[in-house]
Structures are given as structure tokens and as C-alpha cells.
């Protein structure tokens, strides 16, 4: 990672963390047993971490991903707005794929995309505007759309995730029949390390090899080999630099006499 890119990434992290600290608003939440067992300082920190984590995707992961990807791709955008139309036949084909996977869970993204391409005909269906968390396009015009998810999504959401990936591909193909498009679920880190990430293999909906990128596989894809480890180093450096600032801010929260939550 070049020095100016490293500085840009660290600044994104620093600005986001500082902003969250500034908008941290204590609420009156009396938890006397927790306070006495764990201490108000730990409860305040826990509350902040929980709320901050929920905003990592849009506040940090998306802009950092764009900054990294601009080094390797001709286009890189966050919250990319797809088209609003899809061929009716293509939409029906997507429903058939989902139904068949529910009966016989053998996902095959290559075959599924071929089916969609065979159904680019007939009337159009208008959809609500949808956005991909991250859009990339390489020098050959190949497009990549990512849906960045929390590391432990609920299993009952897998079918919806699969439908989203197929619909994104269908919308892109409807607008550009000759386009090569790849759609992915991205998991920024593996909470099960050093064990492999196994959560998705149970659902039978996601073609793990073609639709899922986890941790280093995701960050190294968009930023080049070693990007994941360098990104972790960026987070560590910002944490060290801001440690005193964070500690001082939390002293204020503890003085307020309540475990707080963050309004994002």
C-alpha cells in the first residue's frame, strides 16, 4: 500500500471514529447489577463498541474499499445505483432458480448466470431503485457488485441474499446484454479464525466459490495481495494514535453516571 493511500485510509478511520465519539449521547439506562459487577466504564465502552460496530459498513468499510479499489480498477463507487428495469422472463427465471435451490441445494453461479442470459427477452418489469454497497469495473469492462454483510448473518436471510445477487445480475444484463457481471456477498472479517468461515455452506443457496469473499479474500481482491494485513495495521495505528483521546472522552461518559448508547 502506497504511503498516500495508507494515509487516506487511516484518515477515513480516524474521522469516522472521532465523529462517533462526538455524537455519543448518553441515555438514562439504569442497569444496577451490571454496573456493580462490571463497572460503569466497561458498560459505557461496551455500549459504544456495539453501536459503532453496526455502522462500520457504511462509515468505514465502504469508503475504505473504494479508496483501495481505485488503485486497481477503472471505476470504484460505494452505494452504486443499479437500473430500475429487468426483463420479466429474467425475473421469472430467478424465482425458478430460488425455488429449485430450496428443493435441491446445489448452487452453481456459472449455470445460473447462463440461465439469466437466456431469458433476456419479453416485457420489462420496473423495480424500485436498488443500490450495491460497492461497485467495481476493471479495464476490460467486467463489473463486480458487492453486498457487504455482517460476519454472522441470520440463516433465514440466505434466500433473500441469493435473490438479491441474481436480481443485480439480471438488472445489469437487462441494461447491457453483453456485460460480464459478477455479484458477491462480502464479509469483511472472519469471526471464526483460525477456523474456516463455514456459516454459508449450511444454507445451500450461496455458491461459496463464486459468490462469497471473506476477510483477506475480499480485501486482497480489491486492493491487491497483502491489502488485508496492511488494512489491519492501519486500524491499529489509528487506535494507538487516538488512545488518549478515546480515554478522555470515556471519562466524561462515566462521570455522567450512566451506561450510554450511541445514536447513529
How many domains, in total, are found in the chain?
A: 2
Residue 99 confidence (pLDDT) above 60: yes
pLDDT in tens, 130-179: 899 999 999 999 999 999 998 888 777 889 999 999 999 999 999 999 99
User: Is residue 259 domain-shared with residue 215, that is, in the same domain?
Assistant: no
At 260, the pLDDT band (50, 70, 90 cuts) reads very low
> How much is the average pLDDT of 87-96?
96
User: Is residue 5 domain-shared with residue 106, that is, in the same domain?
Assistant: no
8-state DSSP, 57: I
User: Is residue 124 domain-shared with residue 196, that is, in the same domain?
Assistant: yes
Res 201: pLDDT? 65
User: Is residue 93 domain-shared with residue 216, that is, in the same domain?
Assistant: yes
Q: What is the pTM of this model?
A: 0.88
Q: In this structure, is the dihedral angle defined by the CA atoms of residues 7, 11, 12 and 13, taken in order, positive or negative?
A: positive
Residue 202 confidence (pLDDT) above 70: no
Residue 226 confidence (pLDDT) above 90: yes
Average pLDDT, the chain: 88
User: Is residue 188 domain-shared with residue 99, that is, in the same domain?
Assistant: yes
User: Is residue 9 domain-shared with residue 119, that is, in the same domain?
Assistant: no
User: Is residue 126 domain-shared with residue 159, that is, in the same domain?
Assistant: yes
User: Is residue 211 domain-shared with residue 94, that is, in the same domain?
Assistant: yes
User: Is residue 93 domain-shared with residue 210, that is, in the same domain?
Assistant: yes
Of residues 153 and 95, more confidently modeled: 95
User: Is residue 92 domain-shared with residue 200, that is, in the same domain?
Assistant: yes
Note down the domain range covering 253.
1-71+225-264
User: Is residue 37 domain-shared with residue 92, that is, in the same domain?
Assistant: no
User: Is residue 13 domain-shared with residue 51, that is, in the same domain?
Assistant: yes
Strands 131-137 and 124-126: unpaired
Res 40: pLDDT? 75
The CATH number for 195's domain is 3.40.1560
Grid coordinates given for 66 = 473504494
- Strands laid side by side in the 143-148 sheet: 75-81, 131-137, 143-148, 181-187, 212-214
To the nearest 10 degrees (0 to 180), the angle between helices 3-22 and 243-255 is 10
Res 258: pLDDT? 46
Total residue length of the chain = 264
In what helix (H) or strand (E) does residue 146 lie, and over which residues does it extend?
strand 143-148
Amino acid at each position: 500500500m502506497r504511503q498516500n493511500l495508507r494515509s487516506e485510509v487511516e484518515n477515513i478511520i480516524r474521522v469516522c471514529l472521532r465523529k462517533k465519539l462526538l455524537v455519543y449521547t448518553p441515555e438514562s439506562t439504569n442497569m444496577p447489577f451490571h454496573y456493580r459487577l462490571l463497572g460503569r466504564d466497561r458498560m459505557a465502552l461496551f455500549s459504544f463498541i456495539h453501536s459503532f460496530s453496526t455502522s462500520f459498513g457504511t462509515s468505514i468499510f465502504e469508503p475504505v474499499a473504494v479508496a483501495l479499489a481505485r488503485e486497481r480498477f477503472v471505476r470504484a463507487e460505494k452505494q452504486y445505483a443499479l437500473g430500475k428495469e429487468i426483463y420479466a422472463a429474467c425475473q421469472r427465471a430467478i424465482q425458478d432458480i430460488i425455488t429449485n435451490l430450496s428443493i435441491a441445494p446445489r448452487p452453481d453461479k456459472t449455470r445460473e448466470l447462463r440461465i439469466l442470459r437466456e431469458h433476456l427477452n419479453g416485457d420489462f418489469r420496473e423495480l424500485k431503485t436498488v443500490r450495491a454497497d460497492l461497485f467495481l469495473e476493471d479495464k476490460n469492462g467486467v463489473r463486480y457488485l458487492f453486498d457487504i454483510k455482517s460476519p454472522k448473518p441470520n440463516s433465514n436471510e440466505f434466500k433473500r441474499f441469493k435473490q438479491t445477487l441474481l436480481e443485480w445480475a439480471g438488472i445489469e444484463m437487462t441494461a447491457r446484454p453483453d456485460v460480464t457481471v459478477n455479484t458477491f456477498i462480502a464479509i469483511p472479517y472472519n469471526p471464526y479464525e483460525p477456523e474456516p468461515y463455514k456459516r454459508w455452506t449450511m444454507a445451500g443457496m450461496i455458491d461459496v466459490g463464486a459468490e462469497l469473499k471473506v476477510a483477506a479474500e475480499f480485501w486482497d481482491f480489491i486492493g491487491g495481495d497483502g491489502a488485508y494485513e496492511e488494512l489491519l495495521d492501519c486500524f491499529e495505528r489509528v487506535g494507538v494514535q487516538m488512545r488518549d483521546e478515546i480515554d478522555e472522552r470515556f471519562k466524561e461518559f462515566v462521570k455522567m453516571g450512566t451506561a450510554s448508547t450511541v445514536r447513529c
